[in-house]
A = this chain, B = another copy of it.
Amino acid sequence: MRFTSEQRLDDGVLERGFTLGEVPGILWTPGSRSAPAPLILMGHPGGLHKMYPRLAARARHAAAEGYATATIELPGSGDRPPLPAVDEARADLRRALQAGEPVADEVVERLILPLVDQAVPEWRATLDALLDLPGIGGPVGFAGGVIAVAVRLAVVEPRIAAALLFAGSYVPRAMVDQARQVTIPLLVLLQWDDEGNDRQLALDLFDAFGSKEKTLHANMGGHTGVPQSEGDAGNWFFGRHLR
């Protein structure tokens, strides 16, 4: 992990850009630290520059509660080399949605599986590097991003103790079975009238999770309309499970 930038934000939070191999990322750590800060890995839909304001706001909110947060760029997004096959699948998905047609399983697989296969090892390598830094400790939470990536991570990465999932992107149907292997506490956010999502699949996924403690919060307001109160709900969720 190589730090590429460093700035102290006005609330004392330290923001550091980094690269891990070819993957760019950002790490935010609380201004005042005594004990090692628990870490929240923040997913996003791809495009770090575009997503920066929202991610930084969430990171500062979390830092105020004592959490370190980190994010990395998604494969094929932002300044990373494009993934033409994934872009083609994304275009196919958009065409189907615009035509009001059902989205074929194979389109979802072409879109999501390469992201999962590439992003999950990158997140794990990032986690290795972050936990080697002074002042950052476990337990680790994962929040948001491409839900299929988060599900696979929750299955394969035992250091992740709790996850806040956003059911706002498609999941290959085959992964619903994999969800049965997830046993950590989950808070799943679902935008009920999210037209770019398959509500029934999201409910099937929630049903499939093997976790004894799992909560679904469904709200109105479309894909981007998650109510502000869910930010607090997320903090309370991690407060219960990462402390």
Residues of A within 8 A of B (CB): 192, 203, 206-207, 211-220, 227, 229, 232-233, 236, 240
**Selected A-B contacts with CB under 8 Å, 20 pairs:** A192-B206, A192-B207, A192-B214, A192-B216, A203-B203, A206-B218, A211-B220, A212-B220, A213-B220, A214-B220, A215-B218, A215-B219, A215-B220, A215-B227, A216-B216, A216-B218, A216-B219, A229-B236, A229-B240, A232-B236
Identical subunits present: 2
Residue of A212, A220, A229, A236 with most partner-chain B CB within 10 A = A220
Contacts of A211 in B (CB 8 A): 220
A21 to chain B, nearest CB (A): 39
Residue of A211, A218, A227, A232 with most partner-chain B CB within 10 A = A218
A220 to chain B, nearest CB (A): 6
Docked complex Cα distance between A192 and B203 (Å): 11
Given A203-B203, A229-B236; A217-B216 close (CB under 8 Å): yes
Docked complex Cα distance between A214 and B192 (Å): 10
Docked complex Cα distance between A214 and B232 (Å): 17
Docked complex Cα distance between A216 and B227 (Å): 13
Contacts of A219 in B (CB 8 A): 214-216
Docked complex Cα distance between A192 and B215 (Å): 9
Docked complex Cα distance between A206 and B220 (Å): 11
Residue of B nearest to A193 (CB): B207
Docked complex Cα distance between A232 and B192 (Å): 23
Docked complex Cα distance between A236 and B232 (Å): 11
Residue of B nearest to A214 (CB): B220
Residue of B nearest to A188 (CB): B218
Docked complex Cα distance between A214 and B221 (Å): 10
Residue of B nearest to A218 (CB): B216
Contacts of A215 in B (CB 8 A): 217-220, 227
Docked complex Cα distance between A212 and B207 (Å): 26
A1 to chain B, nearest CB (A): 36
Docked complex Cα distance between A130 and B215 (Å): 36
Residue of B nearest to A217 (CB): B217
Contacts of A218 in B (CB 8 A): 206, 215-216, 218
Lowest 9 A-B CB distances belong to which pairs?
A216-B218, A215-B219, A217-B217, A214-B220, A212-B220, A213-B220, A215-B217, A215-B218, A229-B236
Residue of B nearest to A232 (CB): B236
